[in-house]
């Protein structure tokens, strides 16, 4: 028998978990229930705001309120054929060291609907819903049958969600500016001379998606409205670092699509991917708290969700 599964959350974590589960378990009934879906922009929904690039980090790089983007001899240098340390004359003024490699950037406005489409093709059913308690998911399968397994991918929402209420979660506020200007080379600089929470990064999204200019890395700040002073600092730093983005015309040469704020779902102690028994016949698999790396870790984390679901099924013997 195949299990009835309800996934709560339709960010990159929920969609990727659903896709891999649909491929792994033949005949499994999957329902995604979420307050926000691909196409929405909301402070409670991190996924649309992400850059989103692949930029591995060392374990201790994303720590309480600080993001160190560069380390000498990082573990990931062998992942890239063209990884190299930058020469002194290539460094931006005020920086001590740096590295360069070829990476990818995902256009989230295209990728999230693509994931949704792949899930629908595999038979996953999507429903809007706002849960007060995770146990409500038990009654939300499109089949009408009680869920055997609930996958909790509610991101920062797991802090408030009854039955979870994980106080280890904290927002790391990220303010960005999306512009029409192009800058094919991605740039990431940890720290600035301005404010402790400020960073510099640029990511050009594929297929006309514009270029994300960042940003901030502001722990415990829940403010959803873009701050015009921060926006100006972000734009000034980018045009100083890379004048070519605005053809040398400075901030006036930037063509803004939108200002935005997203909250990275940080979790003290790291991401939570584990199983838990809700009652005699229902299990929960948690997959939340991915901070600033939810896209680059999405497949690895969803693979772990599949492993945990397999473990639960093995324990339940032939019942699931
Ligand atoms: P979310 O996308 O927040 O989704 C949570 C889902 O749960 C939503 O559907 C929500 O509606 C639902 N939900 C929550 N509570 C409830 C409830 N009670 N009832 C029903 N539904 C509920 N990552 C990278 O890998 N690379 C990057 O370059 C990168 N850049 C970033 C830049 C910015 C500006 C930001 C903000 C983040 C960035 N990230 C990046 C991080 C990445 O965006 C997140 O780690 C990832 O999106 C988290 O996805 P998620 O699915 O876990 O959570």
DSSP state string for 204-270: EPTTT--EEEEEE-EET----SPPHHHHHHHHHHHHHH-GGGGTT-GGGG--EEEEEEEEEEEETTS
Q: What is the pLDDT of residue 59?
A: 63
**Which residue has the CA at smallest separation from atom 13 of ligand 1?**
154
217 lines ligand 1 (CB under 6 A): no
> Which atom of ligand 1 lies nearest, measured to the CA of 131?
19
From ligand 1's centre to the CA of 12, what distance in Å?
7
CA dihedral 110, 157, 167, 218 (to 10 degrees): 40
- Asked whether this complex has an ipTM greater than 0.90, the answer is yes
* pLDDT of the residue at 195: 86
Residue-by-residue pLDDT tens, the chain, 320 positions = 899 999 999 999 999 999 999 999 999 999 999 999 999 999 999 999 999 999 887 765 555 555 555 667 888 889 999 999 999 999 988 888 889 999 999 999 999 999 999 999 999 999 999 999 999 999 999 999 999 999 999 999 999 999 999 999 999 999 999 999 999 999 998 878 888 899 999 999 999 999 999 999 999 999 999 999 999 999 999 999 999 999 999 999 999 999 999 999 999 999 999 999 999 999 999 999 999 999 999 999 999 999 999 999 999 876 77
Q: How far apart are CA 205 and CA 222, in angstroms?
A: 26
From the CA of 291, give the closest atom in ligand 1. Answer: 45
pTM for the structure as a whole: 0.96
Atom of ligand 1 nearest to the CA of 288: 52
CB distance 51 to 294 below 8 Å = no
* Residue of 59, 36, 60 lying closest to 49 (CA atoms): 36
Cβ count near 162 (within 10 Å): 11
**CB under 8 Å to 103, separation ≥6 — which residues?**
53, 54, 55, 80, 186
Q: Say yes or no: CB of residue 171 within 6 Å of ligand 1.
A: no
Measured in Å, residue 129 CA sits from the centre of ligand 1 at: 17
Question: Which of these, 99, 97, 101, 98, lies nearest to 82 by C-alpha position?
Answer: 101
In the reported structure, the alpha carbon of residue 143 is separated from the centroid of ligand 1 by a whole-number distance in angstroms of 27
Gap from CA of 156 to ligand 1 centroid (Å): 8
Residue 171 burial (10 A CB sphere; 0-12, 13-18, 19+): buried
From 226, 229, 217, select the one nearest 258 (Cα to Cα). Answer: 226
Query: What CA–CA distance (Å, rounded) separates 294 from 308?
Result: 19
């Amino acid at each position: 028998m195949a299990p009835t599964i309800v996934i709560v959350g339709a960010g990159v974590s929920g969609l990727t978990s659903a896709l891999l589960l649909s491929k792994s378990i033949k005949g499994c009934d999957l329902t995604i229930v979420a307050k926000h879906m691909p196409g929405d922009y909301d402070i409670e929904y991190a996924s649309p705001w992400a850059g989103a690039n692949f930029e591995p980090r060392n374990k201790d790089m994303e720590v309480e309120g600080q993001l160190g983007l560069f380390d000498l001899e990082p573990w990931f240098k062998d992942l890239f054929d063209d990884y190299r340390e930058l020469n002194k004359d290539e460094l931006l003024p005020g920086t001590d060291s740096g590295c360069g490699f070829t990476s990818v950037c995902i256009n989230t406005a295209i990728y999230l609907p693509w994931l949704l489409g792949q899930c629908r093709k595999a038979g996953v059913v999507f429903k809007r819903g706002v849960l007060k308690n995770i146990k409500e998911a038990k009654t939300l399968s499109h089949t009408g049958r009680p869920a055997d397994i609930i996958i909790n991918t509610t991101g920062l929402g797991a802090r408030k969600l009854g039955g979870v209420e994980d106080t280890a979660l904290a927002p790391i506020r990220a303010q960005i500016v999306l512009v029409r200007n192009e800058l094919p080379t991605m740039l990431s600089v940890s720290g600035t001379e301005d404010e402790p929470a400020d960073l510099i990064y640029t990511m050009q999204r594929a297929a006309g998606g514009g270029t994300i200019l960042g940003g901030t890395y502001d722990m415990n700040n829940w403010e959803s409205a873009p701050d015009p002073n921060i926006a100006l600092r972000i734009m000034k730093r980018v045009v100083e670092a890379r004048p070519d983005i605005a053809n040398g015309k400075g901030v006036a040469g930037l063509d803004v699509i939108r200002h935005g704020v997203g909250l990275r779902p940080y979790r003290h102690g790291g991401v939570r991917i584990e199983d838990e028994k809700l009652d005699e016949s229902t299990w929960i698999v948690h997959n939340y708290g991915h901070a600033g790396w939810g896209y680059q870790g999405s497949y690895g984390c969803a693979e772990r969700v599949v492993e945990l679901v397999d473990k639960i099924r093995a324990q339940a013997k032939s019942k699931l």
